Amino acid sequence: MVNYSSVCTSEPGYPINLVGKTGQAVQISIHNPSQYICANCEQILPDWTQQQFLWVVVVLQQSKYPLLEITADTETEKERLREKFMRFGCDVAFNLRDRGYVTDLIDPRTGYPLLSHPGPVPHDDTAVAKALLDYPVIKNKCCVLVHPQWGAAVYPSVLLSAASPEIIASVIKAIAPLHGWTEVDV
């Protein structure tokens, strides 16, 4: 049985660690698909039936607040982080698509792909991040990922691509500065 929980280590530099202008960290890692994605790919992304290879890009943004409770501050913060991911993710996805690689990002709010036809099954970013990173999850009104350094102050999101991890990483590193994210050594 294939181990789907390992971080891709085909090249040094994984995960990609970034920091924004406000000092909030961003961690990006590239993985083989989780068992959930393998089992449900056609239900999540019906347009992708011919894809032999698929990589999952997990984007974790540090939140200003722990996202355990629904408050005006946490809802505003989640929307800000979602918008940041959507802008960044679209730039990465369109760059990879321009190179001929099937790529899409999942809207963290709905669980459906942004650039492909949605299937009947939504994607669950928190569950996939838990499966691929082996981070704990707190289940209350919604599932909250727990990052080893940031605790519950983390906002997960996901891109999917047929491009190789090296190409994905190269595009991410080129586009991140356009969104105010600088690469850092951890």
Concatenated DSSP letters of 103-147 = EEEB-TTT-SBSSS---SS---HHHHHHHHH---EEESSSEEE-B
Does an H or E element contain 58, and which? Answer: strand 55-62
The secondary structure element, H or E, covering residue 170 is helix 165-175
pLDDT surpassing 80 at residue 14? no
pLDDT band of residue 177 (cuts 50, 70, 90) is very high
> What local confidence, expressed as pLDDT, does residue 146 receive?
93
Least confident span in 16-25, 61-70, 121-130? 121-130
- DSSP H stretches of helix in 57-112: 72-98
Torsion of the alpha carbons at 26, 125, 34 and 114, rounded to the nearest 10: -100
More confident residue, 122 or 147: 147
pLDDT of residue 52: 66
Structure tokens at 22: 């406000």
Say yes or no to pLDDT of 131 above 80: yes
Confidence check: pLDDT of 155 > 90: yes
